[in-house]
């Protein structure tokens, strides 16, 4: 397990940190307060090439794999978790196209995504399905040289924004085959029959717009299928496993943000003439969070390294996601406690971090789902 960053990763970290501190931090707070997608900030970030960090340079990517993407996610989340969400949710459709798409599909869709010319959303979860991908109801029926898609998806982040150009959508192509009858499609924005619902406010990821996707006799060419017919379940599981590393990295970044805010406030706050950090009741929980943050960093780096090496990584990604996101909730709680009464006022940034942490415990598979995956490993090892 390697902790050290190589020279390319250090350059990446320097570049993302510069954007996060110079452009993002001074400008993002009003968008958070308004639950508003920060179009120009995202455009600026994307045009710097960071969206393509993980992917093949042949298609405009940086070639730095999941390790690189995890660094980007953590750095963004330490400033604004919702901005990290925009990045990691764009990575899911990019991952499925990159890993399974034909060269023509990559040239047409992955390249503009890597180059920051458009954004994508992932359409998996459905109103009645939740984490159970086997219960997907959206259908894609063959009709000559097209497929016709009918159904709906929920919680599709980045869809409906001014930069949204396409969605990758999982649909049933062979219902008689059960879970093995799922396939993945690219559906470009503007395709007749494809529409997007209204964004609702969330307790976290407030600038990352999440909406419903609707498909009403939506016709797309057969060549817009990603990979082979019936490979949808495999593609979902792999993409979600990769995504869990990034969600874990967002949890680590949020944990560090909580520590930053707690330090800043605690070092300047005195009660009864005594600095509050002289009380072990506050410093000991923070010491525990710092220790766990180091462990989370090791777990995330290890899971990303396994993934990039093409080795088995599913259990490690679930452990990293579970540990880092539950740590983020713990860190948000103690950071708010350090702020005392001020922590419950929205004027203080710390007030919203419990909501941010809770979102991370739910997306890309809840904590309960991660424990189920890990427990299955116990039963089979």
Per the CB < 8 A criterion, the answer to whether 240 and 232 are in contact is: no
CB burial of 298-318 (b: ≥16 within 10 Å; e: otherwise) equals ebbbbbbbbbbeeeebbbbbb
Please report, for residues 54, 83, 283, the alpha-carbon distance to residue 19 in angstroms, rounded to integers and kept in the order given. 18, 12, 31
What's 222's DSSP letter? G
In the chain the beta strands, taken as DSSP E runs, fall at: 119-123, 139-143, 146-157, 164-172, 182-188, 194-196, 210-221, 225-226, 270-271, 274-275
Separation between Cα atoms, residue 347 and residue 212, nearest integer Å: 31
Burial of 137 (0-12, 13-18, 19+ CB in 10 A): middle
Look up tokens 């040239």; give the residue: 107
Given the residues 74, 80, 356, 364, the one annotated as active site: 364
d(CA 308, CA 324) in angstroms, rounded, equals: 20
Backbone φ and ψ of 308, nearest 5°? -65, -25
HSE, CB side, 13 Å, CA atoms: give it for residue 247. Answer: 31
Query: Is 142 a residue of the active site?
Result: no
- Separation CA 145–CA 162 (nearest Å): 30
* Active site residues per annotation: 364
């Amino acid at each position: 397990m390697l902790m050290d960053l190589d020279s390319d990763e250090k350059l990446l970290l320097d570049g993302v940190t510069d954007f996060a501190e110079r452009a993002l931090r001074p400008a993002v707070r009003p968008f958070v307060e308004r639950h508003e997608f920060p179009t120009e900030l995202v455009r600026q970030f994307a045009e710097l090439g960071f969206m393509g960090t993980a992917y093949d340079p042949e298609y405009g990517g940086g070639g730095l794999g999941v390790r690189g993407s995890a660094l980007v996610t953590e750095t963004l989340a330490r400033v604004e978790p919702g901005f990290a969400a925009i990045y990691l949710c764009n990575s899911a459709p990019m991952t499925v196209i990159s890993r399974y798409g034909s060269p023509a599909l990559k040239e047409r869709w992955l390249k503009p995504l890597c180059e920051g010319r458009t954004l994508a959303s992932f359409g998996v979860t459905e109103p009645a399905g939740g984490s159970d991908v086997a219960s997907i109801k959206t259908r894609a029926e063959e009709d000559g040289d097209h497929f016709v898609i009918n159904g709906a998806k929920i919680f599709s982040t980045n869809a409906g924004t001014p930069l949204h150009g396409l969605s990758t959508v999982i649909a049933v192509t062979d219902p008689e085959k059960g879970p093995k009858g799922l396939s993945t499609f690219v559906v470009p924005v503007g395709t007749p029959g494809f529409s997007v619902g209204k964004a609702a406010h969330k307790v976290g990821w407030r600038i990352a717009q999440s909406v419903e996707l609707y498909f009403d006799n939506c016709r797309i060419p057969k060549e817009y299928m990603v990979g082979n017919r019936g490979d949808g379940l495999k593609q979902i599981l792999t993409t979600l496993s990769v995504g869990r590393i990034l969600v874990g990295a967002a949890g680590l970044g949020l944990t560090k943000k909580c520590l930053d805010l707690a330090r800043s406030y605690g070092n300047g706050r005195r009660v009864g003439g005594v600095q509050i950090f002289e009380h072990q009741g506050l410093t000991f929980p923070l010491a525990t969070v710092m220790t766990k943050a180091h462990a989370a960093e090791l777990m995330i780096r290890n899971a990303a390294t396994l993934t990039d090496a093409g080795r088995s990584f599913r259990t490690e990604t679930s452990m990293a996601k579970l540990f880092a996101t539950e740590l983020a909730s713990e860190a948000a709680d103690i950071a708010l406690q350090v702020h005392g009464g001020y922590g419950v006022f929205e004027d203080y940034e710390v007030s919203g971090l419990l909501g941010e942490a809770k979102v991370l415990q739910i997306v890309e598979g809840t904590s309960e789902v991660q424990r189920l995956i890990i427990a299955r490993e116990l039963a089979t090892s």
